[in-house]
Structure 1
């Protein structure tokens, strides 16, 4: 069995999927929040801004 060094700590997993038939990317952050964008740079900036980038209301959200 391979073990990670204790200094490695928990791993953060980011996932980006292409939505077939569209120009959209769907990203899931390690915290579970989701985001959709056309621009891969925008997607990575959103993910790597965790948690600051996740505090902004998503476009099309219920912001009455």
Structure 2
């Protein structure tokens, strides 16, 4: 068994919508309607986050 890394990934469902709001352990946030795309974004850290910064799409 490996030791925990202390990294917390959080995905919340926004009630009344089909939107997921994710927060990476680094603090970056992302929204998506596709849970697979959301996990790919999180697990691509940090390379997946650079795309969002370049587009200015996330808060």
TM-score (normalised: structure 2)? 0.81
Match of 1:40 in 2: 35
**Which sections of structure 1, spanning at least 5 residues, go unmatched?**
1-6
Please identify the structure whose Cα radius of gyration is greater: 1
Count of residues in correspondence between the two structures? 55
Query: Structure 1 segments of 4 or more deviating over 2 A?
Result: 7-10
Greater fraction of residues in helix: 2
TM-score (norm 1): 0.75
Gapped runs of 5+ residues in structure 2? none
CA-based RMSD of the aligned residues comes to: 2.0
Higher relative contact order structure (alpha carbons within 8 Å, sequence separation ≥ 6): 2
